[in-house]
Amino acid sequence: MLLIQKPPQLPAGALLARLHAINSEHGYLPEDEIRRTASDLAVPLSQIYSIATFYTSFSLEPRGRHHICVCQGTACYIRGGGQILEKLEGTLGVCAGHTTKDQQFTLETVYCVGSCSMAPVVRVDEDTYGRLKPDRVARILKKYQPGEESDT
């Protein structure tokens, strides 16, 4: 005789799929959506937050129009990735992990984007910039300012 009944198991990936859908719709995971997901799927909030903070594709705050990833992997770091990050933080006025007040840029660090031969590397949306020097940062950011954006 079974004295303790096991709770029903979620189908594999159901929680991740739901979080991806929310993140795609809003650009981040709003708290009310996280709470609704926890209730709907009978999952502890702590489990959702541990997933949301583990995967870099999820964000707990609204992201900017453009997503900047500054590589701090070994190859990039020893070739000046730290100075590139400092320059970006100073120019944008935000620390890594945050979004500018005008919602134009979200600045994040990553650890290797697979372009080590081009170190140091920064990605802005789908564009990759390699062999960067801090004095190129302002010119790159200008391309993504309203009225300056192009397909090149």
* Binding track over 5-44 against ligand FES, x by CB under 6 A: ----------------------------------------
The answer to whether residue 74 forms part of the interface with ligand FES (CB under 6 A) is: yes
Q: What's the min distance (Å) between Cβ of 112 and ligand FES?
A: 4
By CB under 6 A, name the one of 52, 73, 107, 129 that touches ligand FES. Answer: 73
Q: Give me the DSSP letters along 18-60.
A: HHHHHHHHHSS--HHHHHHHHHHHT--HHHHHHHHHH-TT--S
Residue carrying the six token digits 């500018």: 100
By CB under 6 A, name the one of 51, 116, 124, 140 that touches ligand FES. Answer: 116
Stretch that binds ligand FES, among 54-62, 91-99, 109-117, 140-148 (CB under 6 A): 109-117
Kindly give, in sequence order, each residue whose CB lies less than 8 Å from that of residue 96, ignoring residues fewer than 6 positions away: 70, 85, 89, 107, 108, 109
Residues that bind ligand FES (CB under 6 A): 71, 73-76, 112-116, 119, 121
